[in-house]
C-alpha cells in the first residue's frame, strides 16, 4: 500500500501528565460498583443502612440512559471503598485525599461515613455549613466534582471500609452522575501545579517568529515547590527539537508566574510546545503539550482570481445585490458580459445591482483584471422561487458579543469584513443576533433599543460596503435573551425588516415553548409558516433561517415552511466535545440538504469568542479548527463566523480564506457529504461535487496521529483518479483502489478525487 506523505512522526498532542506513582499505589478508581435508588431519605447517608436491594448503576452515564428516562427529583448513589493507609506512604505529598466524582446533574451533597463533606462542588467542614436549599443551585451540572479532605480528617476511616453516599437532585433534563473521572486518591503535584496555556493565544509575526505567553500556578495554600521549568518546541514531522529553554523556578504557595517564550519556526510546519515542571525533591514531573498553530493555506496570489459563489438565486422584482468576490493585487477592474436587462455591475467593486422582472436563468461571464492579467468565470443567475442557492457565508454577533451587541460593534465587524479581505473570498452577511430589540409601538412597529439608533441607516451602511445584513427574532413573545419577540406581530415585523433593508432573518423558537409546551408536528411548523407568509408578502429576498435546535427532525420539513436553513442542533461551544458531537452527528440530515435548503449545525467557534462582552481565544486546538472548517464545508453548512472580526489573527485568516476549501462549501450541486465510514477512531465523509469529482474528508477522532485508510469502493469510485489536497492546494498524484493519509490528532485531511 502506497503511503501518502504528510506529518510523519506526529507526537501525541493531547495533554498528558506523568507522575512516578500510579493511582493504584495512591488511591483507587471508583467508576464501577455503585448502587442507586430514586427518592430521598436521610438514613441513606448512614453506614449502617443496607443498600443491597438497590440497583447497580454506571456513574459514567446519566440515569436517563439507564432505564429512568423521565425521572427528575431526588436520587441517591452509594459505594463502599477500603481506604488503605499505604496510599499515604506512597504519596509524595502526604496531606490530602481527594474524591473525584465525575460531574453531577444538577445538585449534590456528598457524605462519607454518614458525615457531610461537600455540596455542589464545594468542600464543607460539617453539617452546620450545609445549605438546606442546595438543590436550588443552578448551573453546576457541568462542574467536575472534586472534594478534598485532609488525611487526618476524622470523617475518614483508614484501613477500613468507608461508605460514600451521594444525594442528588435533578431539576429537569439529564440527571445524576456522569463523566469520565471517578477516583479516590492522594493529591499529587498535578493537583496543585497547573499551567494556563489557554488565556493567551500564540502570536505569529514576520520572519516566522512565534510568541507564547503562559503561566504556571501553585494552587496549594500550604506547600511550596522548587524545581526546573523546561520549555521545548518539537517539530511533528521529524520529532526534532527546534527550541529549548530551562530555568530554575520557585513556586511559592498560591503563586502564579507569567512566562513568555519567543521562538522561530516555519509557520507551515506543525509542532508542539512542550512545557514541563520537574520538582527537585521528588523528581516528579508534570508536562503539558500545546499544539502550535500552523498555516496550510498558501498566500493569495497577486494575479486576479474570482472566488465565491458560482450561482445566485433571486426572486422576481426583489432588489438584486451580488458582490463578485475576487482577490489579486489592487486595483481590480470588474466587468460582466451577458448581464440581463435590469442589472449592472460596478467596475470598481464588482457589485451587481438592479432587479429582474421575470423568472428564468442567465449565464453571465464575469471578468476581473489587474496589471498582471485577468480571470473570467461564469456566474449563473436563477430568477425563481428559491434563494440562497449556496450556503450563506458571513458573520453573526452571538458567539462573540452575545447580548452586548450594538450598532457600533456591527459596523466595526462589517468594516473588518471588508478591510481584512474576507469579503474577497465570498464572505457577505453581517448578522445581528439577539439583543437589538425594544418593544412594539402603538402602530405595531418593532423598535430597536438604544444600542441601535437607526436600523435603516445601519442597513444602508452595510449595503454600501457591498455586504448584506441579518437580524434575529423569535416566534414567541420573548426571545431567548428576554427581548421582545414577534408573536402576533409577524406581518409588521417582516414589513419593518424589509423597509430597513434586512437580508437575513434568524427565527429562534425560544418562548414559543410557552405557547406550545409539548408541540405536535403541526404546532412546530405553525409559527414558522406564519413568518414565511409575512416575509413573502414583504417582497424582499430575506434568507429565512429556522432556529429550533432540530426539534421534530426539522430537516424533514424545513423546506415546507420555506426555510433556507435550519439549525439541526443545540448551541455549539468552543470545545472538542461540542464540535465533534454536533459535527459527526449530521449524517442523519444529509439527504435533506439541497440548494436553498441547508442543514445548519450552528456557527463557527474560531478566533476570539465569548458570548458576551468578555472574549477569549477559542479553546479548540489548531487541528480541531481544521476539522471544524473541513467538516462544515463538506456538510454544506452555513458558514457564520462567530468571532470578533477586529481581532482576526493570521491563523484564523488562514482557516477562513482557503478558496479551495470554501469552493467545496459553495459547490452549486448543493449535496451535503455523507458519512462513508465511522469507527471509534476515525470517520470518512464524502461529498459529490458539480464537476463530477468527489471531496473526501478524513477525520481523526483520537489524540494520536493516525493513518486513515480509504477504499475507493466505499466512495463508489472505480478506476484512476487524480488527488488534490485542498488545504495546502497541492496535487498529490494519481490513486487507484485505495489510499491512506496520515491525519493529525483531532485533525482532518480534505482532498478531491477527479476521474482521469
| Contacting residues toward ligand GAL, per CB under 6 A | 398, 433-434, 479-481, 508, 510, 547, 571
Q: Look up 571 and say whether it is catalytic.
A: yes
Q: Is 434 or 490 the residue whose CB approaches ligand GAL more closely?
A: 434
User: Which string of b and e fits 493-531 if b means at least 16 CB within 10 Å?
Assistant: bbbbbbebbbbbbbbbbbbbeeebeebeeeebbbbbebb
As measured in angstroms, the least distance from the Cβ of 173 to ligand GAL is 15
Distances (CA, A) of 736 to 711, 714, 717, 733, 739: 9, 13, 9, 10, 8
Q: Look up 433 and say whether it is catalytic.
A: no
Round to whole Å and give the CA distance between 714 and 295: 31
Strand extents, DSSP E, 450-489:
468-473
What's 592's DSSP letter? G
Residues 6+ apart with CB under 8 A from 222: 95, 253
As measured in angstroms, the least distance from the Cβ of 49 to ligand GAL is 44
Q: Is 549 or 707 the residue whose CB approaches ligand GAL more closely?
A: 549
As measured in angstroms, the least distance from the Cβ of 451 to ligand GAL is 15
Residues 6+ apart with CB under 8 A from 360: 383
Round to whole Å and give the CA distance between 493 and 441: 11
Q: Is 397 or 743 the residue whose CB approaches ligand GAL more closely?
A: 397
Q: Is 294 or 429 the residue whose CB approaches ligand GAL more closely?
A: 429
Q: Is 117 or 480 the residue whose CB approaches ligand GAL more closely?
A: 480
What's 478's DSSP letter? B
Which grid cell is 20? Answer: 512516578
As measured in angstroms, the least distance from the Cβ of 399 to ligand GAL is 8
Q: Is 407 or 725 the residue whose CB approaches ligand GAL more closely?
A: 407
As measured in angstroms, the least distance from the Cβ of 546 to ligand GAL is 11
As measured in angstroms, the least distance from the Cβ of 471 to ligand GAL is 11
Whole-angstrom distance between the N-terminal and C-terminal Cα of the chain? 21
8 A C-beta contact, residue 406 and residue 451: yes
As measured in angstroms, the least distance from the Cβ of 538 to ligand GAL is 22
Round to whole Å and give the CA distance between 292 and 10: 13
User: Which string of b and e fits 45-57 if b means at least 16 CB within 10 Å?
Assistant: bebebebeebeeb
Catalytic one among 508, 541, 602, 644? Answer: 508
As measured in angstroms, the least distance from the Cβ of 598 to ligand GAL is 16
Round to whole Å and give the CA distance between 114 and 119: 14
Q: Is 6 or 640 the residue whose CB approaches ligand GAL more closely?
A: 640
Distances (CA, A) of 116 to 156, 372, 440: 11, 77, 53
8 A C-beta contact, residue 352 and residue 360: no
**Residue 605: exposed, middle, or buried by beta-carbon count in 10 A (0-12, 13-18, 19+)?**
buried
Round to whole Å and give the CA distance between 233 and 622: 16
Q: Is 123 or 585 the residue whose CB approaches ligand GAL more closely?
A: 585
- Number of Cβ atoms within 10 Å of the Cβ of 428: 26
Backbone angles phi, psi at 292, to 5 degrees: -95, 135
What crossing angle do the helices spanning 576-583 and 622-634 adopt, rounded to 10°? Answer: 20
Round to whole Å and give the CA distance between 49 and 131: 24
As measured in angstroms, the least distance from the Cβ of 642 to ligand GAL is 9
Q: What is the DSSP code string of 650-695? A: HHHHHHH--HHHHHHHT-TT-PPPEEEEE-SSEEEEEEE-TTS-EE
Q: Is 104 or 405 the residue whose CB approaches ligand GAL more closely?
A: 405
Catalytic one among 40, 237, 415, 571? Answer: 571
Residues marked as catalytic? 508, 571
Amino acid at each position: 500500500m502506497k503511503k501518502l506523505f504528510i506529518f510523519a512522526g506526529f507526537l501525541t498532542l493531547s495533554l498528558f501528565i506523568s507522575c512516578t506513582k500510579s493511582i493504584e499505589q495512591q488511591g483507587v478508581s471508583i467508576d464501577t460498583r455503585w448502587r442507586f435508588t430514586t427518592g430521598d431519605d436521610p438514613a441513606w447517608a448512614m453506614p449502617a443502612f443496607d443498600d443491597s436491594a438497590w440497583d447497580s448503576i454506571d456513574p459514567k452515564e446519566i440515569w436517563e440512559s439507564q432505564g429512568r428516562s423521565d425521572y427528575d427529583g431526588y436520587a441517591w448513589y452509594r459505594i463502599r471503598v477500603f481506604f488503605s493507609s499505604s496510599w499515604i506512604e506512597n504519596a509524595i505529598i502526604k496531606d490530602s485525599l481527594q474524591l473525584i466524582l465525575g460531574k453531577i446533574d444538577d445538585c449534590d451533597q456528598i457524605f462519607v461515613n454518614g458525615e457531610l463533606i461537600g455540596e455542589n462542588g464545594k468542600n464543607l467542614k460539617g453539617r452546620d455549613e450545609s445549605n438546606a436549599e442546595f438543590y436550588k443551585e443552578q448551573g453546576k451540572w457541568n462542574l467536575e466534582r472534586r472534594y478534598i479532605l485532609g488525611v487526618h480528617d476524622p470523617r475518614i476511616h483508614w484501613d477500613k471500609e468507608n461508605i460514600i453516599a451521594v444525594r442528588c437532585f435533578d431539576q429537569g433534563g439529564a440527571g445524576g452522575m456522569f463523566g469520565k473521572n471517578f477516583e479516590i486518591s492522594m493529591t499529587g503535584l498535578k493537583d496543585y501545579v497547573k499551567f494556563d496555556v489557554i488565556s493567551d493565544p500564540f502570536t505569529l509575526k514576520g520572519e516566522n517568529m512565534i510568541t507564547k505567553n503562559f503561566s504556571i500556578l501553585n494552587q496549594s495554600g500550604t506547600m511550596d515547590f522548587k524545581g526546573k521549568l523546561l520549555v521545548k518546541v518539537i517539530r511533528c514531522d521529524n520529532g526534532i527539537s527546534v527550541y529549548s529553554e530551562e530555568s530554575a523556578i520557585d513556586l511559592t504557595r498560591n503563586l502564579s508566574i507569567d512566562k513568555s517564550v519567543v521562538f522561530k519556526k516555519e509557520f507551515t510546519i506543525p509542532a508542539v510546545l512542550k512545557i514541563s515542571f520537574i520538582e527537585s525533591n521528588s523528581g516528579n514531573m508534570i508536562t503539558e503539550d500545546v499544539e502550535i498553530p500552523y498555516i496550510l493555506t498558501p498566500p493569495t496570489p497577486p494575479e486576479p482570481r474570482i472566488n465565491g459563489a458560482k450561482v445566485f438565486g433571486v426572486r422576481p422584482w426583489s432588489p438584486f445585490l451580488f458582490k463578485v468576490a475576487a482577490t489579486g493585487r489592487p486595483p481590480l477592474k470588474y466587468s460582466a458580459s451577458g448581464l440581463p436587462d435590469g442589472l449592472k455591475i460596478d467596475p470598481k467593486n464588482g457589485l451587481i445591482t438592479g432587479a429582474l422582472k421575470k423568472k428564468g436563468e442567465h449565464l453571465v461571464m464575469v471578468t476581473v483584471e489587474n496589471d498582471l492579467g485577468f480571470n473570467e468565470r461564469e456566474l449563473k443567475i436563477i430568477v425563481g422561487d428559491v434563494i440562497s442557492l449556496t450556503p450563506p457565508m458571513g458573520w453573526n454577533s452571538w458567539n462573540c458579543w452575545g447580548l452586548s451587541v450594538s450598532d457600533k460593534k456591527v459596523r466595526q465587524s462589517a468594516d473588518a469584513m471588508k478591510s481584512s479581505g474576507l469579503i474577497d473570498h465570498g464572505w457577505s452577511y453581517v448578522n445581528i443576533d439577539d439583543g437589538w430589540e425594544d418593544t412594539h409601538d402603538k402602530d405595531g412597529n418593532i423598535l430597536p433599543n438604544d444600542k441601535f439608533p437607526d436600523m435603516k441607516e445601519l442597513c444602508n451602511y452595510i449595503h454600501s460596503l457591498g455586504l448584506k445584513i441579518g437580524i434575529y427574532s423569535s416566534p414567541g413573545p420573548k426571545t431567548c435573551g428576554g427581548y421582545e419577540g414577534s408573536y402576533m406581530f409577524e406581518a409588521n415585523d417582516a414589513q419593518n425588516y424589509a423597509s430597513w433593508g434586512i437580508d437575513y432573518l434568524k427565527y429562534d423558537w425560544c418562548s414559543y415553548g410557552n405557547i406550545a409546551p409539548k408541540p405536535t408536528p403541526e404546532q412546530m411548523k405553525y409559527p414558522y409558516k406564519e413568518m414565511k407568509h409575512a416575509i413573502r408578502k414583504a417582497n424582499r429576498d430575506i434568507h429565512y433561517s429556522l432556529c429550533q435546535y432540530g426539534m421534530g427532525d426539522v430537516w424533514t420539513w424545513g423546506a415546507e415552511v420555506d426555510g433556507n436553513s435550519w439549525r439541526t442542533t443545540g448551541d455549539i461551544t468552543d470545545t472538542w466535545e461540542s464540535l465533534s458531537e454536533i459535527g459527526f452527528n449530521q449524517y442523519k440530515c444529509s439527504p435533506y440538504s439541497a440548494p436553498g435548503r441547508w442543514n445548519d449545525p450552528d456557527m463557527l467557534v474560531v478566533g476570539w469568542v465569548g458570548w458576551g462582552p468578555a472574549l477569549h481565544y477559542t479553546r479548540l486546538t489548531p487541528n480541531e479548527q481544521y476539522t471544524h472548517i473541513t467538516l462544515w464545508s463538506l456538510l454544506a453548512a452555513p458558514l457564520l463566523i462567530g468571532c470578533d472580526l477586529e481581532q482576526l489573527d493570521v491563523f484564523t485568516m488562514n482557516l477562513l480564506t482557503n478558496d479551495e476549501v470554501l469552493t467545496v462549501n459553495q459547490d452549486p450541486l448543493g449535496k451535503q457529504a455523507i458519512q462513508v465510514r465511522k469507527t471509534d477512531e476515525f470517520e470518512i465523509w464524502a461529498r459529490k461535487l458539480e464537476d463530477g469529482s468527489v471531496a473526501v474528508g478524513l477525520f481523526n477522532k483520537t489524540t494520536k496521529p493516525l493513518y486513515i485508510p480509504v477504499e475507493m469502493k466505499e466512495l463508489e469510485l472505480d478506476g484512476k483518479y487524480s488527488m488534490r489536497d485542498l488545504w495546502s492546494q497541492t496535487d498529490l498524484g494519481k490513486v487507484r483502489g485505495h489510499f491512506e493519509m496520515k491525519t493529525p490528532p483531532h485533525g482532518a485531511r480534505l482532498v478531491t478525487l477527479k476521474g482521469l
